[in-house]
Structure 1
Amino acid sequence: MASPITPSTGLGSGLAIGDIVDALVNSDKLAKQTQITTQTKLVTTKLSGIGTLQSAISAFQTLINPPSGTTSTLQFAGYAAKSSDESKLTVTSDNAAVPGNYTVNVAKVATSSSVATAAFPDGSASAIPSGNLTITQNGISKSYVIPDGATLASVVKQINADSKTSNISANIITDDKGSRLVLNSTVTGADSQITTDSDIEGFTIDATTALDSTSASSAGYIGDLPISAELTINGLKVTSKSNTIDKTLGGVAMTLVGAGTSTVSVSTNTDGLKASLQAFIDSFNTVVKAISSVTKATISDTPDATTGSTVTPAALTGDSLPRSILAQMRDELVTTGATGNLSVLSQLGITTTQSDGTLSLDDTKFAAAVDDKGLAGDVQQLFNGTDSKNGLLARMNTVLTPYTQTGGVFDIRTTSLNKQQKDLLNQQDALNLRVTTLTATLTAKYNAMDLLVGQLKASATSITSFFDSLNASKS
């Protein structure tokens, strides 16, 4: 027959010591463990909710206020210009453009200066004596001190270190006569040729002298001298030092590419405006839906097995933060910013859906505003404003920045929740240590009790045996 004694059963007392200790420890642990578990779940849920909210708002803010150096996808140009031949010129327009067709004949495109020094025999490693080099263009000079031990390659590197400000870059081209230091410019137009003055033999370049490629000692301009662009717009002659022309045809910027005739057509930018408006609406609605997802409680017909409640709160249910953000954003939608023919979004057919607070665009009303009322040119002013503050995008960005900026509301809230989470982990560690200690203490005490009971039982058995023996001897 198997022994009824188990490892958790006292040998002396027969009591289930392990079960007794577990029951006592769990009873002591229950209240604090419940508190820690509940608070941990709450903090984790709130962190998730803040993250969801911050992600949606940051994406919206990036759309309305793109980082420096990037192009916004929200292009609210009321009019679109198109070139019939982009191999001749390309065009862009703004809200000052006037619908119509314009014939543009490009006779010449502006060119830049390119000059070369005399040839050196040892390629980029050619030794260059120390001395001074001055490069001049359009009356602006830049001087360089060429140090001892310089090479053609090191001079190139020295010049290119200033190319962003000087608009002049250097390179090495090796022809049949040797390697030449070649200077090129991003500046175009007549009289923009590059000249150099130097006490280093072969480095002086006269702007009026053409390079003779058959002579190693020749230095001068390569090809032709730079010229200005020449074109006509509807027969009117225009001369420009630059191939980018943005003041000649009102509201239209032209970039000349090659000689020839093309037609520039300017028309209402209905599709472009609609695409930008829809992008704004979609991103705004993403924020609205994110706020709803983290604040709207879920109602169920079946009560929760643990709490008995039929309502399950969302991550930030009852938290004023999401609602405050949404209220401020909605205020800007109906606030008049820059003065003009357009003052609110409803004039463009953008309305708020009452059931969920999202925005929607009515195609019919939008078409009427743009095509019939001629408000296409006013859309950009509504969104971008007349200064850096009064446009809808700028005002919306101002509202959101205190929340999303480094050290802002989201950062403060997240830091606080992370601190709470860490504190709860410390509390859990402390509780686990208490449980371990209490378990060891109670186990030791019950084992000691079990030992004593075993000893008493043994004594009782011994005494009983003694009297039984005594009685037997008397009989």
Structure 2
Amino acid sequence: MAMSVLGIGSGIDLNEVLNQLEAVEKTRLTPITTQQKAVNAKISGFGKLKSALTSFNSATQKLQKKALFQSRTATNNDNYFSVKVNSKAALGNYAVTVDQLASSHSVATTAINDKTSALGNSSQSRTITIEQANGEKLEVVLGENETSLEAIANAINNANITNEDGTTRASTMNASIVRSGTNEYQLVITSKETGEQQAITSISSDDEQLNRVIGFDKNQIDSSAMSEVCQAQDAKFSFNGIAITSASNTVKDVISGVDITLKATTPTSQNLAITADNDKAEQAIKEWVEAFNQLQSTIATLTQFTAKETNSDELNNSNGPLIGDATLRNIDQSIRSIFAKGQAGEFTVLAQIGINMDNNGTLTINENELKKALSENSDAVAMLFTGDGEKTGIANEVVAKVNGFIDSEGMIDSVTNGLNSTLKSLDKRYEQVNSSIEQTIERYRVQFTKLDVLINSLDSMSNYLTTQFDMMANLKK
């Protein structure tokens, strides 16, 4: 019969012996777990490296755009006009005079004491037609109970213009009710857009009763039911002495890259200064240098080496997971080689614009030199980074190189995939060895159980024989 607890039969602590044997067997797993830990650390390390490279690449991509180095800023009297400029704007000082602002055409009915009372005849329907100088025509159909000022305004605002192809678009008119006095209301119809071509030329209805309220003819204003409250007019201004007329107060590309929005007429000519804005380029370069230095910091952490003890060859636990890794070393050297390579143009290397590499491998900026290079020759700085706009230039070369490292099928993913395959093999090996250990311990347990039973049987037999011998000796006395 097997013993339920090892050692009871024999008096020997077989459980302790078995535990010691199991501990010895499990040392077979240590090399595997050590390798698993190292591989996992490498996978994590390459993830951190890819993240740092991605950030560096994002900062570099900003420097690929030539427009960054051609930023412009406009200085003007914002009381009279505002200006938007882009990189196409020519540097210089310009004189602007605003003579007239563009305005929308508005006409109004005479005052009526009830905005909800019917103004038309008893017909089931009628049509209001509004025509403009540009040939636009808006037709608004009104029902029997839709001839009040309020109903007419709502109908005009909700009306659509039908195009020649049958499609529709929103009305070009806006209607509103103005309370002009105690129990006095006026319907005001206004063109949504400014300019003489947007002027309302006529308003009419086939409802003669209603026509006597809303009828309008620009050519016969004195005899029209509605009167003008604001004339349609184009904007008129001069730019460097050249007279310009515009239907809108916002004029795009007055000169290439310059949009002006007129606000008020000017008493005298106003100055518009367009100057280079190097702040954006300077900031982008600083962010790029910072991103590169952060990449170097990440690389330094991943390749950190500290001996366990002085003059010891053993590694400290704080050492980087990618220490001595050829892939990381290749990535770092590839990027640095682009910096060392001379580019075509007036500025061929970073040092010429105040960016140098120190003994630690990080970039430093001499801000005065960088500002000087940007202010005196921003085109040459742009050339240094953008080259031909495709393949040459520091920024283009770095982006192309780094993309090869971080793309979905790039160098880092290729290495990581290999490490994941190694990890799967180690996991499988761990399971095999662990299963073998369990089988070995179970075999020991069976053997120890048999040994316990055998020793217990021998002890019982020994006790029996001793008793028999004692009895025989007593009988002879």
Give the shorter-chain TM-score range: 0.5 to 0.7
2:46 corresponds, among 43, 50, 69, to 50
User: For 1:254, what is the secondary structure of its paired residue?
Assistant: strand
> Residue 96 of structure 2 aligns to a residue in which SS?
strand
Aligned 1:236-275 pairs, distance under 5 A: 236-239=242-245, 247-249=253-255, 252-256=257-261, 258-259=263-264, 260=266, 262-275=270-283
User: Which position in structure 1 is the counterpart of 2:383?
Assistant: 381
What CA distance in whole angstroms lies between the structure 2 residues aligned with 1:395 and 1:86? 46
- Conserved in 2, the CA contact under 8 Å of 1:104 and 1:264? yes
**Residue from 330, 334, 343 that aligns with 1:328:** 334
Once the two structures are TM-superposed, the CA of residue 247 in structure 1 deviates from its matched residue by 4.9
CA distance in 1, matches of 2:430, 2:177: 78
CA distance in 1 between counterparts of 2:421 and 2:192 reads 59
Residue 367 of structure 2 is matched in structure 1 by 363
Q: Could you say which residue in structure 1 is the equivalent of 2:212?
A: none
Out of 456, 460, 463, the position equivalent to 2:462 is 460
Task: Please tell me the residue identity of whatever aligns with 2:297.
Answer: K
Q: Is the 8 A contact 2:250 2:260 kept in 1?
A: yes
Superposed, 1:23-422 pairs within 5 Å as 23-31=20-28, 33-65=29-61, 75-77=68-70, 80-85=73-78, 88-94=81-87, 97-98=90-91, 100-107=92-99, 230-239=236-245, 247-249=253-255, 252-256=257-261, 258-259=263-264, 260=266, 262-299=270-307, 301=309, 308-309=314-315, 313-337=319-343, 339-353=344-358, 355-371=359-375, 374-422=376-424
TM-score under structure 1 length normalisation: 0.67
- Name the SS of the counterpart of 2:391 in structure 1: coil
Kindly indicate whether the alpha-carbon contact (under 8 Å) linking 1:190 and 1:241 is maintained by their aligned counterparts in 2.
yes
Task: Please give the per-residue CA displacement for 1:184-234, whole angstroms capped at 9, x wherever unaligned.
Answer: 79xx9876899xxxxxxxxxxxxx999xxxxxxx9xxx987795x543223
Question: Larger deviation: 20-29 or 41-50?
Answer: 20-29
Q: Distance in 2 between matches of 1:452 and 1:365?
A: 93
Deviation string, structure 1 residues 252-274 (Cα, Å, up to 9, x no partner): 52342523575322344354443
Q: Deviations over 1:323-357 (max 9, x none)?
A: 222222223334455x543333222111111x211
1:293 CA drift (Å):
1.7
Cα distance change, pair 369–172 in 1 and its aligned pair in 2 (3 A): closer
1:341–1:72 Cα change, 3 Å: closer
Q: Secondary structure at the match of 1:264?
A: strand
Alpha-carbon separation, structure 2, partners of 1:303 and 1:428: 34
Q: Is the 8 A contact 2:342 2:349 kept in 1?
A: yes
Tell me, yes or no, if the aligned pair for 2:65 and 2:386 is still in contact at 8 Å.
Answer: no
SS of equivalent to 1:288:
helix
Partner Cα separation in structure 1 for residue 349 and residue 302 of structure 2: 29
Query: How much has 1:53 moved relative to structure 2?
Result: 0.8
Q: Aligned partners of 1:89 and 1:327: how far apart in 2?
A: 50
- Select the structure of larger CA radius of gyration: 2
Q: Which amino acid aligns with 2:34?
A: T
Q: Give 1:183 deviation, angstroms.
A: 11
| Preserved CA contact (<8 Å) 2:354 2:366 | yes
Task: State the SS of the aligned residue for 1:75.
Answer: helix
- Contact persistence 1:245–1:255 (CA under 8 A): yes
Task: Name the CA distance, whole Å, in 1 between partners of 2:169 and 2:39.
Answer: 57
TM-score by length of 2: 0.67
Distance, in Å, in 2 between the alignment partners of 1:239 and 1:89 is: 17
Distance verdict in 2 for CA 1:96–1:396, change over 3 Å: farther
Q: What residue identity is the alignment partner of 1:382?
A: L
Alpha-carbon distance between aligned partners in 1 of 2:314 and 2:467, rounded to the nearest angstrom: 62
Q: Is the 8 A contact 1:78 1:379 kept in 2?
A: no
Shift of 1:291: 1.7
Residue 163 (structure 1) aligns with: none
Equivalent residues, number: 417
Offset, 1:96: 6.2
Q: Please say which of residues 233-242 and 361-370 is displaced more in the overlay.
A: 233-242
1:42-83 deviation per Cα after TM superposition (whole angstroms, max 9, x unaligned)? 1121122112111111112222336xxxx9899333654333
Q: What is the aligned-residue RMSD (CA, Å)?
A: 5.4
Match of 2:68, SS? coil
Q: Distance in 1 between matches of 2:476 and 2:173?
A: 130
Structure 2 counterpart of 1:473: 475
Shift in CA distance, 389/308, structure 1 to aligned 2, threshold 3 Å: closer
Deviation at 1:314, TM superposition (A): 1.4
State how far apart, in whole Å, the 2-side matches of 1:435 and 1:112 are: 92
CA pair 175-449 structure 1, distance change in 2 beyond 3 A? farther
Say if 2:93 and 2:271, in contact at 8 Å, map to a contact too: yes
Q: Which runs of 5+ in 1 are unaligned?
A: 1-5, 115-120, 122-137, 140-151, 160-165, 195-207, 211-217
3-state secondary structure, aligned to 1:412:
helix
Change (3 A) 1:471 1:443: same
Indicate whether 1:16 and 2:24 are aligned.
Answer: no
Contact 2:386/2:393 (CA < 8 Å) preserved in 1?
yes
State the alpha-carbon separation in 2 of the partners of residues 224 and 39 from structure 1: 86
8 Å Cα contact 2:233/2:247 also seen in 1: no
Question: Distance between the aligned counterparts of 1:58 and 1:167, measured in 2?
Answer: 47
In 1, the alpha carbon distance for the partners of 2:422 and 2:391 equals: 39
Identity %: 25
- What is the distance in 2 between the residues matched to 1:359 and 1:37? 40
**Structure 2 SS opposite 1:316:** coil
